[in-house]
Structure 1
């Protein structure tokens, strides 16, 4: 409504306003209340869908960071392997004290590589787990999105029922709403 007395609203709004100001039949009042309830539940489902999508993206980002860290560890492992190979070659080419120094270096590189490998394996496992969590959250997001869509369909059908005064359409409204709530429960339960 503007300050100049000009008022624009849809037919559904008109029916709801008419019932509020002038009373009306129970059909109109019940459909208006049903529509308000469906809108509220739909808003909650929409919020939950956004939350699960954000969680999926967060897990996917975490997986990418862990994969990068694991790759860095494997590069470090390869660098230690190269140094170990050079030290092993030096053992063959030297004698005496120098040879013992290179033998000690070979053993040190072996120990260091074991630690580096363990860390790289750990990071890869964490990345895999984060990828799995991301996939689970995307599945839940799809449930919330479907539930929200079904509730939006129910709201649209309730508006059509209200405008056409076709009581049989309420069955379709309840069917779509039931489907939406059912899928929403599946999303909540992570099914």
Structure 2
């Protein structure tokens, strides 16, 4: 008595499974996340032809499989969106004769997931308050939080790092990324490189950063 459920979205656009419950109200968790709770039941995720498939094994239970399974999951537009969601751009940077109103009907294209409204407001506030510059640990942390929606927290401290001619002072930036948001070490290194460049562009000349990624 095996039941499989295939999610319709491409697996690259699925961030995480946030909850699975059946018609009787019983909760299910991924088998690799099994804990001590005896009330939890399990499913096994599998990638198949670019889709995520969840397997449910009811062969060890006396009762019949449930009438229905409800799967809640989070998705992202991924690299198809960057910074501004559809319907958020309603003003022109410069006015043009004959154009009285504008609106973006699709997300703007780019290389990172779309930013939330809260992130945009935080970034705008930081730009206005500090003239696009990060001067204190608190400001650096706030800038880091605006960079990528996967970052859930950021803290800074003084540190040192090896350089070509010995050691040098640097600012250590530790950012926490939501569990399951980074799928490979290549993604971790890319986020470190991009965030470092982002912070250096908003700091005093010769400010050095060492970004550390903590998977939450």
The structure whose RCO (Cα within 8 Å, separation 6+) is larger is 1
Give the TM-score, by structure 1 length: 0.20
Give the TM-score, by structure 2 length: 0.18
Task: Please identify the structure whose Cα radius of gyration is greater.
Answer: 1
Which structure: greater helix fraction?
A: 1
Which structure: greater strand fraction?
A: 2
